[in-house]
Structures are given as structure tokens and as C-alpha cells.
Structure 1
Amino acid sequence: MHFKEYSSLLIVQQDTIVTVTLNRPVALNALSSQVIDELDHVLDIVGAAIAGGAWPCRGMIITGAGEKAFAAGADIREMTGMSPDQAWAYSTRMQALTLKLESLPVPVIAAVNGFALGGGCELAMACDFIYAATRAAFGQPEVSLGLVPGFGGSVRMQQRMGLARARELLYTGQRITADEAHRLGLVNALFDSQEALLTGARRTLLMIAGQSPTAVAAVKSTMRRVEGHSTSRGLEIEAESFREAFRTADMQEGTRAFLAKEKPAFPGC
């Protein structure tokens, strides 16, 4: 894959892991329209490369530059001059990006190294899971600005931690520590330093990269599709995915290797 040089992002591809760093440390990596556009472009490149069948990317890490912030929120300076219609367009543009993240057929880890507030917390929640440095903090402080979450916070926070706790955080605008976020299930794992955080995220993605890429993609898609359905409908969707797995070369290779007591060489199709 070939990425252009971005003004607000740093892209590093090592092996099959792509690390995307939000690179506006002076602005605490705030999510400006430019950041959103550039993130969207990166996801398009990765998605198109995977669709080509080569699986050049098996996982993605999103993190922030500097030691203070993952992303401290939306760009308030940019928002101040927006009309209501422009604000709606800004919101729906970022919402579309979060949906694209969720539909990317590889796992995405948010490596939260500092503040993840407002839009930053919403971006992290759109990733498959969140790893955090112990100094990180999370919150949706929109009510303190006379605003409501616009990038998915009112939807994904209750999915992540339950309705009552999400209401409390959204109504109060309260900021919580990484430890509390971990206790509530928002964060999967905590790390003592930024270096350990990125190493841990990469280690997990490399472990996932050793599995069948078509199966991992199917599991991610299935979990997204069953959300919000009844148990019976969810089981139907799962059975459909199970059936489709039997059409893949990865299933044939995986079961063959298991019976032969060999390491599988998944073709990714």
C-alpha cells in the first residue's frame, strides 16, 4: 500500500500492521475537518487494498502524537463559526468515518495515550477495542459547551458500558480515569507507558494476524450485524456466517492443517 504524506497524520506500515498517528499535538490532536478527510482517505486505501485480495493490512492502530492527548475532541475553533447546517454536515461526516472504521475487515485498536475527550472518545469507541496508558482520561464533555455528542457518543457509550452509566457520564460531562474506564469495560487493557501501550497493541494485532484473515473479517462483520437483534435473529445471522465460512479456502486449509497437526498457511480467500 502507498500512502501520501498527510498534514495531520503520520502513517507507518510495519509488516502487516498500519499505525495511524493523529499528528496535531499543539491542538491536542483535535479532530478538524482536515483530520477527518485524511483519516477517511487512509481507510479507503486500506479497504481497497484488502478488497484486492492480497491482505496487505491485517490490523490497524490509531494513536495520538505527543504525551498529552489521543484526541482532545472536535476542533472547537473550527466549530465556532459553523451554521447549524454546517454543524450537521460536520457531524455526519465524522459519523460516516466511524461506520467505515467499524466495517473495515481488519481489527482496529485505539491506543489511547492521553486525553480522549468528546470526539476523541467517540473515535476510540468506533475502534474494535481500546488499549490505554494509565495516564489516559475519557469523557464526553459536550454539555459543558451547550452541545450534545455529534460523532456517535450517545450511541456507542451505552453499547460499551450500559445505559445507566452512559447517561451519567453524558449528562454530567464527567471525565473518568483510565482505571475507571477499564473497570467499566470501556478499556480492554492498561499499560504503564506509551511505548508499552503501542507494543501491546502491536502484539495483539500480530496474534490476530496469525489467524485466518477471512474468518477474522467474518467474525467482525457478524458481531456488527447481530447487534440490536433478538437472540433468535442473532443466532440466524451467526448460522449464515458459519455456512459461508465453509465456502472459503481458509476453512479448507485450517481444518486440513489441524488434522495434519501442521501450522496452517491461510490463503486469505
Structure 2
Amino acid sequence: MTLPSSLTGDNAVLRLTFDGPLAVLTLHSPPLNLFDEAMWTAWRDAVAWLAAHPPRALLVRAQGRVVSAGVDVRVFAELDPKDAESFWRSRLGITQALEALPCPTVFAAHSLTLTAAFELALACDLVVATPQARFGLVERKVAFTPAMGGTQRLAERAGGARTRELVMTGDLYRGSVLADWGVINALFPPESFDTDAHSYAMRLATGPTRAHRATKEVVRRCLDGGVPAADAALPALAAAVTDTGDHRRAVTAFLTDGPEHTTDYQGH
């Protein structure tokens, strides 16, 4: 499985590596990890490759002092309004493709995370951060609105009132505050953040991936269509999980060794 050239090598602005069952996608475009054409191209390549070759879990992280200062403002200066709809539709497609990956996804934010990067974080299943990390959808500074799906995904997590506050003020919010809002799932101290975030994601990668996929689908059905839509889909999803090797091995191990058993999940 050859990786796209945009995701490997010393000049790659986004790097895809693996630690056993865990895929790790690292923003690496110092000093600010800005979203420009090269970064977006790499993201398109990454989510397309991961959709075709799903890992057991994905960790998204960043190298450097900041996670990302967001979209390179030169993008707005150079964009022809006649091309704007198709331009932003394609960028929203990256968010949607990341959200649709069939494995658990974790976004790890150790510091400043703005605009496009924050929007992609909100497309992940789980977000972890340091208490001091700062987040913002600050498009108001260029009289714009978040266009990669961050507003609606923030509203799913924090509600409409908090979302309007964050987007309309353009203020920055600490990880500790967003954890209180339900946007951040876990907070880790700065001194051990990389290790803690990696362990958090690895726990998912070594778990029952097919069951996690079903959980993602049930939650999505509920968010899109309410409890009745989730109920309608659940029996078939549960039946598919019942037919996996992970489920059968885990049941056997539970009956043999008790609830504290260790199961070798293989994703089948």
C-alpha cells in the first residue's frame, strides 16, 4: 500500500505514519501549519487514502509551537468570487470525508487551533487538548464565516447559543472552557500531552473497531434523524457486529476469563 507522495518525505506538509494499528496524521508546515493549497491537497490525499485503506484508528496531531493558525489569508485575497462556491464545496468535502472514515478518529490539540484546523477537529469523533490550548473560529476578522463545516459541527457539540457566541465574537477559548461545553472530550497536561494523546488513540486502535464503526453510525443516524432513525438502523448494525470475529472472541474470553479478560481484537 503505497502512500501518496504528498504525505511522505521531508517536504510533506502533512505526514501519514503508522504505529501498528494506529494511523497518525501530523501537520508539519512550520511555523504556523497554515492551510494553503499544499495543505488542502495533502488533506484530500490523506482522507482518500485512509478511506480506501482504513486503519483501526486515526490520531490527528501537529508538530511545532502551534497546531495551526488556520487558513492562509492570501487564500481569501486571491479567490475569485465566481469560483468561491466550488472552492468551499471541495474544502467542505475534506471535512465530510474525514468524518465518514469507518474507524475511530481523535484530534489532539496541544496549543493554538484556529479556523480550518478547528473545523477538522470537530469532524473527528473525539477531541483531546491541553487545558491551556486555545481554539477559535475567527473568520469574522476577515468578514467571513467558517466554510469547512465547523459552525454546524460545533453546534452539535455545544448548542446553538454557544456556537453563535464563539463564531460571532471571534474570541479564543481555552481547552478547559470547551471541555466544560462538551466540545473537548479529555484534557491532558502539557508535559505529557503527546504520550497521553497517543495512548488515548491507541486504546481505540486496539479495541473492537467494527463495533466502534457501528457506534459511529448509530450516533450519526440519531444526530441526522433523531432516535427513531437510529432505532430503525440499529438491528441491522448490531447483527453485522454479531458476525465479527472480534465479537465472538470477546464473548468467549469473557465467559472463560471473566470481565477483566484481554481480547486480541483484529477488526474482523
Structure-1-length-normalised TM-score: 0.89
CA contact (8 A) 2:221 2:229 kept: no
Tell me the alpha carbon deviations over residues 51-96 of structure 1, each in whole angstroms, 9 at most, x when there is no partner: xxxxxx22221122211x2122112112211012333233212211
Is 1:221 aligned to residue 217 of structure 2? yes
Task: Identify which of 106, 115, 119 aligns with 1:118.
Answer: 115
* CA RMSD, Structure 1 to Structure 2 (Å): 1.9
- Aligned to 1:265, the other structure's residue is in SS state coil
- Aligned to 1:150, the other structure's residue is in SS state coil
CA contact (8 A) 1:250 1:268 kept: yes
Is 1:39 aligned to residue 43 of structure 2? yes
Aligned to 2:86: 89
Question: 258-267 or 30-39: which moved more?
Answer: 258-267
- Aligned to 1:70, the other structure's residue is in SS state coil
**Residue identity opposite 2:256 in structure 1:** A
Aligned to 2:19: 14
Aligned to 1:30: 34
Distance 2:63 2:233 in 1: 40
The 5 A counterparts of 1:240-255 are: 240-255=236-251
Q: How many residues align?
A: 260
Aligned to 2:202: 206
**Residue identity opposite 1:89 in structure 2:** S
The 5 A counterparts of 1:1-269 are: 1-3=1-3, 4=5, 5=8, 7-26=12-31, 28-50=32-54, 57-67=55-65, 69-193=66-190, 196-261=192-257, 263-269=262-268
CA contact (8 A) 1:137 1:177 kept: yes
Distance 1:196 1:234 in 2: 38
Aligned-pair CA distance for 1:253 = 2.4
Distance 1:249 1:191 in 2: 34
Aligned-pair CA distance for 1:178 = 1.7
Identity percentage of aligned residues: 26
- Aligned to 1:134, the other structure's residue is in SS state coil
**Residue identity opposite 2:98 in structure 1:** L
Tell me the alpha carbon deviations over residues 173-218 of structure 1, each in whole angstroms, 9 at most, x when there is no partner: 121112211111111122222x622211221222223322211222
Runs of 4+ in structure 1 displaced over 4 angstroms? none
CA contact (8 A) 1:131 1:197 kept: no
CA contact (8 A) 1:21 1:65 kept: yes
Distance 2:189 2:36 in 1: 29
Aligned-pair CA distance for 1:267 = 4.2
**Residue identity opposite 2:56 in structure 1:** R
- Aligned to 2:243, the other structure's residue is in SS state coil
**Residue identity opposite 2:267 in structure 1:** G
**Residue identity opposite 2:61 in structure 1:** T
Distance 2:129 2:262 in 1: 32
Distance 2:242 2:189 in 1: 42
Distance 1:88 1:36 in 2: 16
Tell me the alpha carbon deviations over residues 28-52 of structure 1, each in whole angstroms, 9 at most, x when there is no partner: 11111221221221222222223xx
> Cα–Cα, structure 1 residues 24 and 266, in superposed 2: closer, same or farther, change >3 Å?
closer
Task: Give the unaligned 5+ runs of structure 1.
Answer: 51-56
> Cα–Cα, structure 1 residues 266 and 131, in superposed 2: closer, same or farther, change >3 Å?
closer
Question: 109-118 or 2-11: which moved more?
Answer: 2-11
Structure-2-length-normalised TM-score: 0.89
CA contact (8 A) 1:71 1:115 kept: yes
Distance 1:243 1:11 in 2: 33
Question: 229-238 or 138-147: which moved more?
Answer: 229-238
Distance 1:118 1:239 in 2: 38
Distance 1:134 1:264 in 2: 33
Distance 1:87 1:212 in 2: 41
Distance 1:192 1:111 in 2: 12
